[in-house]
Amino acid sequence: MNLKGLEDELRKLYTSHNQEHVFDHYSSLDDEKKSLLLKDLSSFPVDKLASYLQSARQEQDRLQQDSHEGNDHSVHIGPYRGSIGSVSTDSFVSTMEPIGIHAIAMNQVAVVLLAGGQGTRLGFDGPKGIYDLGLKSGRTLFQLISERLVKLIQLVNERQSTSDTVSIPLYIMTSPMNHEATRSYFESHNFFGLSPKDVLFFEQGVLPCLSINNGKILMEEPGKVAVAPDGNGGIYPAMERCGIFQDMEQRGIQFIHVFSIDNCLVKPADPVFLGYCISQGADCGNKVLWKAHAHEKVGVMAEKDGRPCVVEYSELSSKMAEMIHHSTGKLMYGAANICNHFYTLDFLQNQVLPNMKYMYHMALKKIPIWDEEKQQVVAPEKNNGIKLESFIFDVFSLSTNMTVMEVLRDVEFSPVKNAPGSETDSPETARRMISELSKKWLQAAGAKLIGDLRSDDCEVSPLLSYGGEGLHVYRNRDVVCPFNI
């Protein structure tokens, strides 16, 4: 379609939804700016914005009414009542892992990686996934995840009884800011051994910022809409918009493992997690850790109005946070969310997408906008706009059969979020966790560790072992720390 045809189509669309003002300065723009504006307008779900905003307003009004009436928001919250599986027993792992392996062998499993974030807090100007963690091997978060998938595919190929080639497609959600840098990084490293046809990139969406007063789209400047990321829950409409669901259908994918780039210990397409969710007939699953203490500042699994959800620590009173389950002796609100989820493709397409309009939340912000009288961009003194965002775990409430699986912190969770030198969630703590786990694997295989046993520079290559297996060759052998094998 030519520029004029696209303009006419979009004018008609935006006018039908009372947003025709986005074209007020169109005639004064040069061809390049016209093209950029039309590209942006084509990407926005203008037909859905009003319903997103209405739902978000209703939720905010409900919360404000509770506050006005003196109600504690926690009256809507209760402990998660579903069963929680645990990898703490060998029998659980040995039962669930083959089920997950079988699903992978049947090419029914895909991985979706949330990688839209920049390394700003790390002092790094680029995608977080390519940040140098300081490992002796030089591996980045992208490389660790990719090579674990390469090893897992190898393991499944060795164990399966058919001659079909195993494929685990990796879908990487980027952001407009880091999309090209992420794609180029994978291409320049030959996709770290993964098949290029199995690594697909798609962009997280943005939504227009809206006026508090009337819900009108705000203009940052003539011919440029003020936008904001739509939250990590934007993964679902982005997958639809970018054809990811269609690609999954064509590949025969049934089960999807979704997680964030932050975690250097993540196990992509974890067969145990997959196996547990599949064995329970789950449409949605969440991998969790148990809180280190009652007041650890993390979101936890719970229920709101009888539906599964994640509640933030700020939503729990001190009394609730400290409640102990009488039969287990564990915290009732102890299952900490780590952004590591399982879904069936059917659930995402037939439950989540039709209900996305109920998933958005309002954030009131000071948004610089174009001032027609002053003929310049003006920064407001008070909140003038609304940013709409959704959270990836908001869809839990739509599940008809939710499952939760607890894993061990020192084996599966070490996020990289904070600047070097920070006490927690830093590159240093990530290297330490990788090193300790590598030493533990070798000792379990029967190796004798010598040298600097306190070293934080020990590393077992993901291409050698996915989860501690395959290290029997080191039985009864001395391994000098630090090591990189």
Q: Where are the domains of the chain?
A: 74-417, 427-485
Residue 163 is predicted with a pLDDT of 63
Whole-model pTM?
0.92
Residue 75 is predicted with a pLDDT of 47
Largest Cα–Cα separation, the chain:
80
User: Closest Cα to residue 220, out of 366, 93, 360, 350?
Assistant: 366
- Residue ranges of the chain with pLDDT lower than 70? 1, 63-75, 161-163
Is the CB of residue 389 less than 8 Å from the CB of residue 361? yes
CA atoms within 13 A on the CB side of 170: 29
Cα angle 280, 283, 287 (rounded to 5 degrees) comes to: 75
Sort residue 141 into left (φ over 0), alpha (ψ -120 to 50) or beta: alpha
Residue 74 is predicted with a pLDDT of 43
User: Closest Cα to residue 386, out of 169, 203, 227?
Assistant: 227
Phi, psi of 244 (to 5 degrees): -70, -45
User: Closest Cα to residue 77, out of 326, 332, 302, 299?
Assistant: 302
User: Closest Cα to residue 236, out of 354, 116, 329?
Assistant: 354
What CATH topology corresponds to 74-417? Spore Coat Polysaccharide Biosynthesis Protein SpsA; Chain A (3.90.550)
Phi, psi of 101 (to 5 degrees): -60, -40
CA distance 468 to 437: 9
Q: List the end-to-end C-alpha distance of the chain, in Å, as a whole number.
A: 55
